[in-house]
Amino acid sequence: MLRGSTVGLRARHEDDIPILRTELYDDVVNGSRAESGPWRRITPGSKDPRLVVDDTDERNVPFSVVELEGGTLVGTATLWGIDHHSRSAHIGLGLLPSARGKGYGTDVVAVLCRYGFIVRGLQRLQIETLADNTAMLRSAERNGFVREGVLRSSVWVLGEFLDEVLLGLLASEWKPDAKG
């Protein structure tokens, strides 16, 4: 398990799947805002890649996020789109509604940075998020990410185009204790 100050990132357990499906992916609004495409349901028992981990896929490393104190599942985190040649990857995370607003997002980003830069030897990490996702923007910036641009009206979400913010962090800029 990868440990932060309040959360741990561990392998996905079979028991995690129904909780993540019902609390994250069955929510049309949250799912529409989190995915790059239109919301679609996940049938129980399906092998949907958002839930079921493919250990042979070297470009995507998904984790379940748990509270360190008690081990309760609080969400999901992913290092995705790993480019071994350019040594870069993207960060994604989703917290269950009951886990939001507790600082877990900032800790998850910190743990993914440590994993990406130290364990994987990456040069660059990137986050794309909706411009109104203040929690994700705050979590990224507290970990040293810099806003590199805004993709204006680039994401179609529930009947409207929204802006997307692009943030980046280089290994040379990363400070492991940057959380604030």
pLDDT band for position 179 (50/70/90)? low
CB 78 within 8 A of CB 87: no
Percent over 70 (pLDDT), the chain: 96
Contacts of 113 (CB under 8 A, 6+ apart): 91, 125, 143, 144, 169, 174, 176
Q: DSSP assignment, residue 119?
A: I
Report the pLDDT averaged over residues 102-121.
97
Q: Where are the domains of the chain?
A: 2-123
- Sign of the four-CA dihedral 109, 35, 168, 87: positive
pLDDT band for position 178 (50/70/90)? low
| CA 119 – CA 141 distance, rounded (Å) | 22
pLDDT in tens, 52-96: 777 888 899 999 999 999 999 999 999 999 999 999 999 999 999
Q: Which two tokens stand for residue 51?
A: 């839930």
Percent over 90 (pLDDT), the chain: 73
Q: What is the CATH T-level fold of the domain 2-123, as seen in this structure?
A: Aminopeptidase (3.40.630)
| CA 139 – CA 93 distance, rounded (Å) | 11
In terms of pTM, does the model score above 0.85? yes
